[in-house]
Amino acid sequence: MSADKRWCEDARRVRRVVLLVLDGLRADLIGSPRYPHLSALRQESAYTLDATTVLPSVTAAAMTSLFSGVAPNDHGIVSDRFGVPKYLARLRPMPREVALHGLPSTGVVRQVPWPLRPLARRIVRELGMQQAHFAPANVRELLRAAMPALRTQTDGLIVMHWPDCDAIGHTHGWMSEPYLDAVARMDAALGTTRELMADARTETLLLALADHGGGGRLPNAHDSAHPLDCTIPLLLSGPGVHPQELPNTHTLLDAPPTVLWALGLPVPAQWAGEPITAAFAAPTAARRTDVRADTPELQLLREYVA
Return d(Cα 250, Cα 279) in angstroms, integer: 11
User: Tell me, what's the pLDDT at 202?
Assistant: 83
Give me the percent of the chain exceeding a pLDDT of 70.
90
Alpha helices in the chain (DSSP H): 36-43, 59-68, 72-75, 94-100, 117-127, 139-152, 164-172, 177-196, 227-230, 255-262, 283-289, 296-305
User: Tell me, what's the pLDDT at 4?
Assistant: 81
Query: What size, in residues, is the chain?
Result: 306
Give me the percent of the chain exceeding a pLDDT of 90.
83
| Residue pair 105/124 in contact by the 8 Å Cβ criterion | no
User: Tell me, what's the pLDDT at 293?
Assistant: 45
User: Cβ-count burial of 304 within 10 angstroms (0-12 exposed, 13-18 middle, 19+ buried)?
Assistant: middle
Is residue 13 over pLDDT 70?
yes
Closest CA to 205 of 181, 229, 168, 235: 235
Return d(Cα 188, Cα 139) in angstroms, integer: 9
User: Tell me, what's the pLDDT at 287?
Assistant: 53
List, in sequence order, every residue forming a beta bridge with 204; answer none if it has no partner: 16
Is residue 201 over pLDDT 90?
no
Instruction: Order across the sheet with 46-52: list the strands.
Output: 131-135, 105-110, 156-162, 16-22, 204-209, 231-237, 46-52, 244-245
Helices 255-262 & 59-68, crossing angle to 10 degrees?
Answer: 30
Overall average pLDDT of the 179-185 stretch: 98
Q: Tell me the backbone φ, ψ of residue 131, rounded to 5 degrees.
A: -130, 135
Helix (H, G, I), strand (E, B) or coil at 95: helix
What is residue 88's DSSP assignment?
G
Residues 6 or more apart whose CB falls under 8 angstroms from that of 96 comprise 127, 128
What CATH homologous superfamily does 16-305 map to? Alkaline Phosphatase, subunit A (3.40.720.10)
Predicted TM-score (pTM) above 0.85: yes
Return d(Cα 131, Cα 117) in angstroms, integer: 15
Q: What is the pLDDT of residues 15-55, one digit of tens each?
A: 999 999 999 999 999 999 999 999 999 999 999 999 999 99
User: Tell me, what's the pLDDT at 292?
Assistant: 44
- Rounded to 5°, the CA angle 85-56-302 comes to 140
Distances in whole angstroms, Cα of residue 275 to Cα of each of 13, 50, 271: 13, 17, 11
Is residue 286 over pLDDT 90?
no
Domain residue ranges in the chain: 16-305
| Residue pair 86/231 in contact by the 8 Å Cβ criterion | no
Is residue 199 over pLDDT 90?
no
| Residue pair 237/278 in contact by the 8 Å Cβ criterion | no
- Which is more confident, 263 or 199? 263
Q: Which of 82-91, 196-205, 226-235, 276-285 has the highest mean pLDDT?
A: 226-235
- CA torsion sign, 234 to 238 to 243 to 247? negative
Return d(Cα 165, Cα 180) in angstroms, integer: 8
Closest CA to 162 of 136, 180, 130: 136
Q: What is the pLDDT of residues 242-257, one digit of tens each?
A: 999 999 899 999 999 9
